[in-house]
Structure 1
Amino acid sequence: MKNTKKFIGIFQALLLLATVSLAQNNGYEVGDEAMDFHLQTVSGSQVSLEGLEGNRGAIVIFSCNTCPYVQAYEDRMIELHQTYASKGYPLIAINSNDEKISPGDSFEAMKTRAAEKKFPFAYAYDKSQEVIRAYGATRTPQVYLLEKESDRYIVRYIGAIDNNYQDATSVSEFYLADALDALLSGARVPRETTKAIGCSIKWSRNSR
């Protein structure tokens, strides 16, 4: 009987550990505090949340060079940064794709793409894939809108930029912009999560 209770106790402990591990692997949910990061950008500097000045939060978008969904959104990403950076929400694009699996997403290729498109925002390389594992993004592009509270960054929206990647002129739901406008006005984000549609992450064989 004692051995049975001991076995049940061990099983329950292992089940709890597995559940916690699964939750961690799934990344952030709305309301979670986001980790900081220090990543190399194509401009030669590093970007971090703590290094942002005079901001009210940040728009973190997991991006890349090669995904056609990202390419369709690049001009909108530029416009979002130009509109909201001055209001306290700069955009940070992070490429986490393994360059060995996707050579077009190498750091050198990132520099070329950023120069071609004249990105006004920070474009950083998450070479170790540590950041994307913590955040839990599975697609490019995938948005994490963060609001600054004291020295903490709280996730307020996760998902897509809007509801039409193919045609910017046909967008009828501006998920990210609506969330930003809500935060700026002190209101609750109207839609906190949406499904990110895009390309899968090119994971390193050593990271999964």
Structure 2
Amino acid sequence: MALTSSNELDNTFSAPDFSLFDTISGQVLSLNGLKGDQGTVIMFICNHCPFVKHVNAELVNLANEYMGKGIGFIAISSNDVANYPMDSPEQMKLIAQEYSYPFAYLYDETQETAKAYHAACTPDFYVFDQELLLYYHGQLDDSRPGNDLPVTGLDMRKALDALLQGNSPLPSQKPSIGCNIKWKD
């Protein structure tokens, strides 16, 4: 497993539009159809990564807590399924059902969406404001597999609360760390 951190982006980065296959509903869904009224969280995740497995339950908790406050949540998997069949759309749907994902779990087959977002790792978290400008790009919290810290979603919660209160983006944003996105050859 290659430990990779998220790429640095500034707050002038605007969320690129996409239309991707949702493994849960079986429909093609777009950013504009999924974004929240108050903000949007986009998460690049996958099924097999131990870092994602470590935080999956908290992602569901966060979404259930903040979707009612006008925050949209979108999960995207961009991994090469030829070499990582655990990340196939069929397996994505099973994971979404197992954890009762309240958000779309989209399959980025061409990997163009991951490239447009400069995504580097799983998990890779982005919070966008109402205008789809980057507000936060960083870690969920300090917990990692094996470090014995509880998964709380603290950093993401601070960012979402600040966004909802109309505050400026947090000055300190630690990058997310996880497995590298499995790019196609």
**Structure 1 match to 2:4:** none
2:69 aligned with 1:87, yes or no?
A: yes
**Alignment partner of 2:109: what SS?**
coil
**Structure 1 match to 2:154:** 174
Number of residue equivalences: 176
Contact 1:157 1:192 in 2 (8 A): no
Q: 1:168 and 1:93, CA in 2 relative to 1: closer, same or farther beyond 3 A?
A: farther
**Alignment partner of 2:31: what SS?**
coil
**Alignment partner of 1:31: what SS?**
coil
1:47 positional shift? 2.5
2:136 aligned with 1:157, yes or no?
A: yes
Contact 1:27 1:135 in 2 (8 A): no
What amino acid is the match of 1:41? D
Q: 1:53 and 1:179, CA in 2 relative to 1: closer, same or farther beyond 3 A?
A: closer
Q: 1:192 and 1:36, CA in 2 relative to 1: closer, same or farther beyond 3 A?
A: farther
What amino acid is the match of 2:163? L
Contact 1:158 1:192 in 2 (8 A): no
1:36 pairs with one of 4, 17, 34? 17
**Structure 2 match to 1:10:** none
Q: 1:170 and 1:87, CA in 2 relative to 1: closer, same or farther beyond 3 A?
A: closer
* Stretch of structure 1 that moved more, 118-127 or 191-200: 191-200
Aligned-residue CA RMSD in angstroms? 1.9
Distance in 2 (CA, whole Å) between partners of 1:71 and 1:54 is 25
1:27 positional shift? 8.0
Aligned sequence identity (%): 39
With the length of structure 1 as denominator, give the TM-score of the two structures: 0.78
**Alignment partner of 2:130: what SS?**
strand
Distance in 2 (CA, whole Å) between partners of 1:62 and 1:95 is 6
Distance in 2 (CA, whole Å) between partners of 1:138 and 1:53 is 22
Q: 1:98 and 1:180, CA in 2 relative to 1: closer, same or farther beyond 3 A?
A: same
**Alignment partner of 1:198: what SS?**
strand
Structure number with bigger Rg:
1
Higher relative contact order (CA 8 A, sep 6+): 2
2:127 aligned with 1:136, yes or no?
A: no
CA deviation profile, 1:63-108 (whole Å, cap 9, x unmatched): 0000010011100100110011111112111000010121110111
Contact 1:28 1:135 in 2 (8 A): no
